[in-house]
Amino acid sequence: MNLPPGPKLPDWLLKMQFAADPLGFLDKMSQRYGDIFTIMSESTPLLFVGNPQGMKQLFTNTTEIIASGELNQEAAPLVGKNGLLLLDGLRHRYRRKLLMPPLHGNKIRVYGQQICDLTEKVMSQLPINKPFLAYPTMQKITLQIILNTFFGLSEGERYEQLKQLLFTLMNYARSPFVEIPLSFPFLQQNLGRWSPWGYFLYLWQQFDQLLYAEISDRRQQPNSSSDDVLSELIFARNETGELMTNEEIRDLFPSLLFGGRDASATAIAWALYWVHRLPVIREQLLREINSLGDSPDPMNIFQLPYLTAVCNEVLRIYPTQVLTFPRIVESQTELMGYNLSPGTIIIGCIYLTHQNADLYPQPKEFQPERFLEKQYSPYEFLPFGGGARRCPGEALALFEMKLALATIISHYQLALTSTQPEKPHQQGANYPPASNLKMLLVSGNSSNSRQFVTSSTK
Ligand code: HEM
């Protein structure tokens, strides 16, 4: 085996440096060692790959490099032992396939108007001229979008209960009471509902009860024509041809919930940051949105070229997920001239690929135009990862990112409260703004009574 060079410091120290400043750490590594380097974790080599050629090999060589679920064991208490992240092989492929139809194409188109309305509803509750935190505000929006798209719920007692519960559960999951035991599993002690870990388990039990009650109601109405993820899964068959059990359905949700709420909220928060830091970009975006007339169809908004370029640049410069989930070498293989032995772990470095100055001149500058001038390959621009674990929520995420951003900037005037540059920090798999992004609502744009209207409602 021959490995690319890398730092010789102990891995705990490197982890601390990464936690303190993830992007700064990766920049430093690539300046010293290039866009492929090794960090030793005890005797296991972790190979960080940050260039298109390596990414292509990582995502396409699926015989020798495996997206093993076991590598994500640490996340099991969060997303479940049978959650997508923990699955691999045939079961993983099959369950992903079940999720694709409700998360793509026409199925998500019908949510266009709802996404605009939910964004409007959350934004209209903000006080004028008082600072608010943009990231948790965007989490509120993306959580409500989840309730509609995943569970098909938008009102009623169960909707209110699930909304409240998911809000509490997902925020608690990001608190030190859960994050610390996730890193130190011996702290995962269930000492009853009033103990930190016991409370976490109690919240999941509450979620299970609500979900099972909803599944049971829907199984009794097999002719319902709902388009949401839950309805699709209830009547879908698993890889052995049987209807999925309640537990199998339930296990798919936690990964979707965290991806669906936090990754999307991170992306929208960063979009707000960049368009308010660079007012010319906001103005150009507004001109483009206004060119659609008074009642633009959300699908037409979704296809706007400059809006698309801005969102791509947001996802390029600070990808919501800086690293892919890890892969493992199953049998001897070669990657970018290095011979890798079984057991070597490979991590795709999305951030470093997006920082390649040959592909993206002046990579630290926010320049949406680059996406108008050049078409990037899926190994050059890869905010949603690739291969076996490529994000199943990509289509929905881009849809909500563009519609939420367009709704906010065309209806509200916001401002950043600080001129200091904002930095990403790690929160689970995502990298939202470290300060949660403090902003000010200067005014609701009441003169602009634009309504986004879907084709289906026209
Ligand atoms: C802008 C928003 C989003 C971004 C940038 C993003 C990015 C990513 C990335 C980079 C990965 C890892 C891919 C890899 O390792 O190759 C991933 C996986 C995943 N994402 Fe997303 N994501 C977003 C939104 C969503 C949404 C809305 C959902 C839910 C519908 C979601 C659900 C997931 C799941 C379940 C996985 C794991 C897939 C698997 O293990 O097979 N994500 N995402």
pLDDT band at 259 (very low <50, low <70, confident <90, very high): confident
What percent of the chain is modeled with pLDDT above 70?
96
CATH code, domain with 275: 1.10.630.10
Q: Which tokens in the block code for residue 239? A: 């890889």
pLDDT band at 45 (very low <50, low <70, confident <90, very high): very high
Ligand 1 atom nearest 264 alpha carbon? 2
215-224, 268-277, 441-450: lowest mean pLDDT where?
441-450
Identify the top-confidence range among 64-78, 91-105, 341-355: 341-355
Ligand 1 centroid – CA 392 distance (Å): 6
Using a cut of 0.95, tell me whether the model's pTM lies above it: no
Closest CA to 127 of 448, 443, 408, 418: 443
Angle between helices 264-277 and 134-151 (to 10 degrees): 140
Q: Which tokens in the block code for residue 135? A: 């990231």
Residue 435 counted as domain residue: yes
Whether 3 contacts 45, CB under 8 Å: yes
Model confidence at 457: pLDDT above 60: no
- What pLDDT does 224 receive? 63
- How many other CB atoms sit within 10 Å of the CB of residue 31? 8
- What pLDDT does 454 receive? 44
CA distance 214 to 151: 9
3-state secondary structure of 148: helix
**What b/e readout covers 410-448, taking b as 16+ CB neighbours within 10 angstroms?**
bbbebebeeeeebebbbebbbbbbeebbebbbeeeeeee
Ligand 1 centroid – CA 397 distance (Å): 9
Residue 23 counted as domain residue: yes
Nearest CA to ligand 1 atom 9: 384
- What pLDDT does 123 receive? 95
Nearest CA to ligand 1 atom 11: 391
Whether 147 contacts 111, CB under 8 Å: no
Residue 207 counted as domain residue: no
3-state secondary structure of 128: coil
Ligand 1 atom nearest 142 alpha carbon? 27
Of the residues 384, 398, 400, 430, which should be mutated to test ligand 1's pocket, given the most ligand atoms within 8 Å of the CB?
384
DSSP for residue 262 = I
What's the length of the chain?
458
- Count structural domains, the chain: 1
Residue 1 counted as domain residue: no
Q: Per residue in 137-163, pLDDT tens?
A: 999 999 999 998 888 888 889 999 999
Span 250-260, average pLDDT: 90
Ligand 1 centroid – CA 449 distance (Å): 34
Residue 238 counted as domain residue: yes
Ligand 1: lining residues by beta carbon, under 6 Å: 84-85, 96, 103, 255-256, 259-260, 263-264, 267, 315, 320-321, 324-325, 383-387, 389-393, 396-397, 401
Nearest CA to ligand 1 atom 3: 263
| Domain span including residue 432 | 11-152+226-457
Residue 201 counted as domain residue: no
3-state secondary structure of 131: strand
Strand 345-348 vs strand 44-49: parallel, antiparallel, or unpaired? parallel
**Phi, psi for 271 (deg, rounded to 5):** -65, -45
- What pLDDT does 341 receive? 95
Whether 40 contacts 54, CB under 8 Å: no
Of the two residues 218 and 23, the one the predictor is more confident about is 23
CA distance 407 to 133: 18
Ligand 1 centroid – CA 5 distance (Å): 30
Closest CA to 162 of 47, 45, 257: 257
215-229, 285-299, 331-345: lowest mean pLDDT where?
215-229
CA distance 208 to 203: 9
Ligand 1 centroid – CA 388 distance (Å): 11
Of the residues 73, 108, 268, 391, which should be mutated to test ligand 1's pocket, given the most ligand atoms within 8 Å of the CB?
391
Helix (H) or strand (E) holding 84: none
| Cα separations in angstroms, 49 against 9, 72, 275 | 19, 18, 30
Residue 209 counted as domain residue: no
| Cα separations in angstroms, 156 against 15, 123, 161, 162, 215 | 45, 22, 9, 10, 16
CA distance 158 to 154: 9
Nearest CA to ligand 1 atom 27: 260
Ligand 1 centroid – CA 119 distance (Å): 21
Ligand 1 atom nearest 149 alpha carbon? 30
- What pLDDT does 445 receive? 58
Span 321-330, average pLDDT: 97
